[in-house]
Amino acid sequence: MENTETQDTVEKIKQQIAENPILLYMKGSPKLPSCGFSAQAVQALMSCGEQFAYVDILQNPDIRAELPKYANWPTFPQLWVDGELVGGCDIIIEMFQQNELQPLIKESAAKTKSAE
């Protein structure tokens, strides 16, 4: 049986993903990324020109421990859009270079704006 702390963390992750249409789990913050992969992911996201939420996993060791299991994705950063895991740095950069990331991000941001 899972302990309650693990369940609480998974609930927190689910809530973050549900509340933030564009969410990046990363090391550090967009202004001060703590790893090169997070920095690259942030740059690609910022280039899309929409606001996005982030969680610094270095400040949240519980999330850092549980998210890879929950997401079934071992590494960080992780980009989630509209509740779906998009992927890590390589996927983010590749999608950006192929102009697939921008419409995904813009569409998600537009949905959020029209809902407000």
Q: Does some domain include residue 112?
A: no
- Given a contact cutoff of 8 angstroms between Cβ atoms, the answer to whether 56 and 28 are in contact is yes
What pTM was estimated for this model as a whole?
Answer: 0.94
Q: Does some domain include residue 30?
A: yes
The CATH number given to whatever domain includes residue 67 is 3.40.30.10
Q: Does some domain include residue 33?
A: yes
Q: Does some domain include residue 115?
A: no
Confidence (pLDDT) at 4 = 87
Q: How many domains does the chain have?
A: 1
Which residues touch 115 (CB under 8 Å, ≥6 apart)?
Answer: none
The tens-digit pLDDT sequence of the chain (116 residues) is 557 889 999 999 999 999 999 999 999 999 999 999 999 999 999 999 999 999 999 999 999 999 999 999 999 999 999 999 999 999 999 999 999 999 999 999 999 888 77
